[in-house]
Amino acid sequence: MGSKHKLRWAAEGYKPCQHLLEYRLKHGAESFRVLQKCLRAGGTPGRACIKREEKEVPRCASCGRAHGRLYACLLCATIGCWSPPEAPHARLHAQTAPGHDLAVDVDRAELFCCACSDQVYDPDFDRAVIGAQSAPLLGGTAKSYEKEHPINGKDAADCVKRRRGAEYKPWVPTPGEQLALRQGSTPLKEDESLPSGLRGLNNLGNTCFMNSVLQALLHTPPLRNYFLSDRHNRAICQRRAPHLCLGCDMDTIFSAAFSGERTPYSPAQFLYSWWRHAANLAGYEQQDAHEFFISTVDGIHANSGTTSPRARHSQGGRAGDVDCRCIVHHVFSGLLRSDVTCTVCGFTSTTYDPCVDISLDLEPDIGTEKLFVDPVLNGESGGRSSRAASSAFSASTLLGCLDRFTRPERLGANEKFFCQRCQTRQESIKQMSVRKLPLVLCFHIKRFEHSSTRNTSRKVDRYVQFPFFLDMLPYLSSSIVRSRHGNRLLSVDSEETGLPSMHSPFSSEFELFAVVTHSGKLDSGHYVCFLRLSGRWYKCDDAWVTRVSEDVVRASQGYMLYYVQKTLSYKASDLLPSSTPDILDKNGKHGGYSCVSGLPSMVNGV
């Protein structure tokens, strides 16, 4: 393998398995160029899959299985399944055919080592998949993508250099821009009784779930600054090619909310576009606010066209959506770390998963769960105190839920994982932590329980105390891993792992600015949003907006909690592409240094 490949892998902080090194030494990077012609864009945004006829159904060559994970050998294209678990046919093929260890996931176009039973990463394979995925979106061909993104280059090393900080430079309008602002702007109507942007939303028929989440999004500081600075111009976006774009509909709602009008607004166009985006949720039935939030984030991202190359690979320890450059992932996307430790030899397998929210289980009721006293788990936790255990005899708290989320958990006998050191399935201990914090942290409290055995669903009405100010430092991977290993912890940073540094410049202190609550029963409940604006709390109940006290907010039945970082730093890598470069970048100032339109001061409006 050439020195350039080693340099690129070192820059991306990844150590490939021995089977991948042997494959590259024998076949080189040219095989991945050929593979790109066998890939096509998948049905899911951001994914690719192996080309096949419309009615063709891939099947395992050994058992004929057509469902589950199927892998195609990288050398002979033989398809094998990953079942039964004790002797998967894809692995049997690799064992019987020397050198045929690497395969490609048929539906996801992900590189997999059958000998290691794990996904592997190769920068040239990564570029081949991105080229196949991006070519139809860019209206070009795979060759044009290769020309703009050569496989042999120093892109990975340069990317590390570009992540360094830069001095924040505010936009100073030129005389011509000041004249354009005066001629093309309408002064907002001042209303001392309510803050700017606070406007009721009409209920269009069981749409309180949508109105409550939209109110939270309208007053999410980074998102608000992005849309109000015209970073997504719906007129220019639709002028290029009329298409479904939730970003354009969101821009319309922002314009209406901050127009100065106080009469309730009807987001009918957004509802219709969302129905088209999420056809399975269309209709006038009551929907889940959390599902709506996830679907809306996905819809805005799907039409942003700003996904970075690394964002297409979230498996095998990659950063995933945490590196996507679209506005919703820039604001909400964080990274979770999962450590699974073998109880026999102590080997730890670490994976990273991107997330736009953190779903938390409620603490158990009094007497339903014994205290956390397992000696092995206590040893793993390094003596870290668990507020979840102590609070089992008091009211449930958000901090207790976070302790429960990040505490070590012994996996059952039916959940044994394959230990690479023992080379067999062993009992293990799993522990979650937060690897990278987002600008805006969204917590989802799991209040709805579904039993597949009894085929029943119910809502948990247990009260949860939540703080107005939250420090996430105890739940970061750096803190948890340090408490587990003590002085034995080695330094791990972004240049070694290819992931955001544990010592992130972003603050771990957050401030609550929105609470989405649910009252009533599972099938006949009602959603309401509480907002903190200019130091005061307001209740948004569909079209009705009223001022309330902090006690009312604290007593509410929180379902989704939105926290924003108290201190936001400026980085050159935070620059987002504008949907209107011909307007914002006209003089090379606003578009060049606008970090989400003023990140350092965005918290002032909370």
Give the model confidence (pLDDT) of 440-487 as tens digits. 999 999 888 766 666 667 778 888 999 999 999 999 998 888 877 654
Query: For the chain, which ranges sit under pLDDT 50?
Result: 1-4, 7, 10-12, 44-46, 137-165, 308-320, 366-394, 487-504, 572-606
Q: Is 1 exposed, middle or buried, given 0-12, 13-18 or 19+ CB atoms closer than 10 A?
A: middle
Contact 111, 104 (CB under 8 A): yes
DSSP secondary-structure letter at 533?
A: E
What per-residue string of b and e applies to 457-467 under the rule 16 or more CB within 10 Å gives b? eebbeeebebe
Question: For the residues of 135-162, what is the DSSP string, one character each?
Answer: HHHHTS-HHHHHHHS-SSSSHHHHHHHH
* Alpha-carbon Rg for the chain in angstroms: 26
Backbone angles phi, psi at 510, to 5 degrees: -125, 160
Beta bridge partners of 204: none
| CB contact at 8 A, 294 and 356 | yes
Spot the catalytic one: 113, 208, 419, 529. Answer: 208
Report the DSSP beta bridge partners of residue 481. Answer: none
Name, in order, each residue with C-beta under 8 angstroms of 263's C-beta and a sequence gap of 6 or more.
199
CA–CA separation, 32 vs 48, rounded Å? 14
pLDDT score at 221: 92
Tell me the three state secondary structure of residue 178: helix
Strands (E), 18-147: 39-41, 48-50, 70-73, 79-81, 102-105, 111-113, 118-119
pLDDT at 569: 60
In this structure, are strands 348-355 and 334-342 parallel, antiparallel, or unpaired? Answer: antiparallel
CB 431 within 8 A of CB 480: yes
Residue 492 identity: V
> How many angstroms separate the most distant Cα atoms in the chain?
77
Contact 225, 256 (CB under 8 A): no
Contacts of 95 (CB under 8 A, 6+ apart): 115
CB within 8 Å of 594: residues ≥ 6 apart: 171, 229, 231, 575, 584
SS3 447: coil
Cβ–Cβ < 8 Å for 84, 91: no
**pTM of the full structure:** 0.60
Nearest to 221 by CA among 565, 591, 578, 584: 565
Strands 469-471 and 509-519: antiparallel
Return d(Cα 379, Cα 343) in angstroms, integer: 11
Residue with tokens 């130091």: 535
| Three-class secondary structure of residue 286 per DSSP | coil
Q: Are 517 and 527 in contact (CB under 8 A)?
A: yes
| Start-end of H helices in 220-314 | 221-228, 234-240, 246-257, 268-277, 289-302
pLDDT of residue 64: 85
State the catalytic residue, choosing from 17, 27, 149, 526: 526
pLDDT at 461: 82
What's the pLDDT tens digit per position in 513-564?
Answer: 999 999 888 777 899 999 999 899 999 999 999 999 999 999 998 999 999 9
Residues 196, 219: Cα–Cα separation, whole Å: 10
Give the single-character DSSP code of 596.
T
The alpha carbon of residue 348 and the mean position of all alpha carbons in its chain are separated, in whole angstroms, by 24
Place of tokens 């999420």: 278
Backbone phi and psi for residue 464, each to the nearest 5 degrees, phi listed first: -125, 125
Measured at the alpha carbon of residue 223, what is the angle toward residues 221 and 225, in degrees to the nearest 5?
70
Helix axes 208-218, 246-257, angle to 10 degrees: 70
Of 475, 337, 306, residue with least CA distance to 400? 475
Residue 486 confidence (pLDDT): 58
Instruction: Please tell me whether the peptide bond between 375 and the residue prior to it is cis, using omega within 30 degrees of 0.
Output: no
Element (H, E) at 334: strand 334-342
Predicted confidence at residue 312, as pLDDT, reads 46
Give the Cβ contact number of residue 137 at 10 Å: 11
Query: Rounded distance, CA 374 to CA 220, Å?
Result: 42
**Cα–Cα distance measured from residue 415 to residue 71, given in angstroms and rounded to the nearest whole number:** 23
- For residue 203, give the 3-state DSSP assignment: coil
Residue with tokens 């942007």: 197
Q: Is 208 a catalytic residue?
A: yes
Contacts of 498 (CB under 8 A, 6+ apart): 12, 13, 14, 318, 319
Residue length of the chain: 606
d(CA 30, CA 75): 13
